[in-house]
């Protein structure tokens, strides 16, 4: 019996359940990975990804595994259905979290600078308004010839003209900096939310515009004939692949530029149709077959 590696901790329990069942069936069959791959029509490298939790096995692969091991096909496909829903949901949420993190990370340094700069003038103004004596500022060894300090070095107070510039910029951009000075927590939260929302990428719309040049078919998204594609990749080349699969009469599940389980399943069907090595990945030979 194979000694399996631990599955990735971030996998949804429903996906873990499916992978564990596939592992159990493979072990009980007594087949080696190569034999299991041969019986199911999927390459050993594909099964390494499926059984390792790095990619979700397509429905056709799960069906083939059930038949190869004489398992309950309906039960296994039911497990796959809920696992596929969880996988898609986690992929969508993961993309949104990455976009949120990118947006928040990109504004954190700017917010820190605004907080420091807005805090300096307001603090001094508050001291004059209440009649308190100004707080002495330690002498600096800066001779005035250096560049302005980095944003995270907030110990030095800006000069008069720098403060005036901050006031002008603040007036130009609205009440954002004012809110930051009066209610730092609320302003920082609002700013982070606004930037994160703006950072969420809009879905890219792809279309299939078929043309034939020099004996090859093109769909208007990419002209590559060599780029390696596999599950979880995105972009115009994936959209081109999906269009070519569609032209060949093999449904990829949509033209969205995202290489998911449905697209992988379509690639596998194409590789079988064109008598290529079946691994669910796209290379020069698969491109040539689809463009021919």
- The residues spanned by each domain of the chain are 13-94, 211-291
Query: How does residue 278 score in pLDDT terms, banded at 50, 70 and 90?
Result: confident
Which residues 6+ apart lie within 8 Å of 286 measured at CB? 267, 270, 271, 274, 276
- Number of helices (H), then strands (E), in the chain: 11, 2
Across the range 91-108, mean pLDDT stands at 61
Tokens standing for residue 23: 């592992």
Reported as type and span, the H/E element at residue 211 is strand 211-213
Average pLDDT, stretch 164-176?
50
67's enclosing H/E stretch is helix 59-69
121/90: higher pLDDT: 90
For residue 160, pLDDT over 60 is answered with no
Amino acid 65: pLDDT: 95
Per CATH, the number for 211-291 is 1.10.101.10
Report the topology of domain 13-94: 434 Repressor (Amino-terminal Domain) (1.10.260)
Measuring CA to CA, which residue among 5, 84, 4, 25 is closest to residue 264?
84
Q: Cα–Cα distance between 74 and 76 in angstroms, integer?
A: 6
Distance CA 264, CA 237 (A): 14
Distance of CA 171 to the CA centre of its chain: 37
Residue 177 has pLDDT above 50, yes or no: no
Q: What is the pLDDT of residue 143?
A: 46
The predicted pLDDT at position 112 comes to: 52
Supply the pLDDT for residue 238: 95
The percent of residues above 90 in pLDDT, for the chain, comes to: 49
**Rounded mean pLDDT, 168-191:** 47
Asked if 24 and 2 count as a contact pair (C-beta separation under 8 A), the reply is: no
123 with 212: CB under 8 angstroms?
no
pLDDT at 81: 94
Contact 96, 88 (CB under 8 A): no
What is the pLDDT, as a whole number, of residue 37? 94
Give the residue with greater pLDDT, 227 vs 123. Answer: 227
Q: Is the backbone of residue 214 left (phi > 0), alpha (psi -120 to 50) or beta?
A: left
pLDDT at 151 over 50: no
More confident residue, 173 or 159: 159
- The model's pTM is 0.44
């Amino acid at each position: 019996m194979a000694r399996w590696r631990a599955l990735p901790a971030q996998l949804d329990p429903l996906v873990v359940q499916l992978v564990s069942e596939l592992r159990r069936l493979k072990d009980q069959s007594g087949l080696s990975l190569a034999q299991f791959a041969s019986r199911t029509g999927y390459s050993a490298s594909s099964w390494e990804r499926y059984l390792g939790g790095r990619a979700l096995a397509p429905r056709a692969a799960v069906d083939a595994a059930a038949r190869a091991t004489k398992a309950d096909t309906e039960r296994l496909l039911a497990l796959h259905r809920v696992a596929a829903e969880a996988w898609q949901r986690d992929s969508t949420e993961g993309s949104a979290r990455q976009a949120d993190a990118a947006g928040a990370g990109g504004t954190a340094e700017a917010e820190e600078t605004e907080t420091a700069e807005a805090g300096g003038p307001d603090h001094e103004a508050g001291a004059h308004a209440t009649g308190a004596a100004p707080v002495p500022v330690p002498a600096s060894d800066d001779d005035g010839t250096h560049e302005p300090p980095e944003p995270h070095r907030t110990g030095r107070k800006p000069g008069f003209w720098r403060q005036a510039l901050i006031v002008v910029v603040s007036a130009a951009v609205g009440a954002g900096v004012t809110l930051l000075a009066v209610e730092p927590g609320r302003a920082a939260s609002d700013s982070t939310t606004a930037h994160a929302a703006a950072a969420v990428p809009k879905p890219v719309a792809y279309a299939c515009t078929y043309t034939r040049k020099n004996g090859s078919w093109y769909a208007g998204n990419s002209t590559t004939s060599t780029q390696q594609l596999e599950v979880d990749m995105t972009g115009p080349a994936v959209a081109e692949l999906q269009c070519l699969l569609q032209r060949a009469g093999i449904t990829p599940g949509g033209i969205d530029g995202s290489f998911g389980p449905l697209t992988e399943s379509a690639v596998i069907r194409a590789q079988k149709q064109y008598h290529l090595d079946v691994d669910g990945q796209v290379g020069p030979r698969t491109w040539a077959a689809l463009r021919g």
